[in-house]
């Protein structure tokens, strides 16, 4: 999975200039089929 943010307007992640490795810590699956993925930065990053 590769999350992508597209569009115009105010940048949401303007201050982030370097790659940040994330670790998946929780998955929530809802009755509607929507999946929520919770990530946190890797400690050794």
Q: Which of helix, strand or coil describes residue 4?
A: coil
Which residue has better confidence, 31 or 8?
31
Which residue has better confidence, 14 or 3?
14
pLDDT tens-digit profile of 15-45? 888 888 989 999 999 999 988 888 899 987 5
* pTM exceeds 0.75: no
Residue 7 neighbours by CB under 8 Å, 6+ apart: none
Q: Name the residue ranges covered by the structural domains of the chain.
A: 20-45
């Amino acid at each position: 999975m590769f999350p992508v943010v597209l569009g115009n307007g105010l940048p949401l992640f303007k201050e982030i200039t370097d790659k940040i490795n994330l670790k998946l810590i929780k998955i929530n699956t809802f009755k509607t089929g929507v999946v929520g993925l919770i990530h946190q930065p890797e400690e050794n990053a």
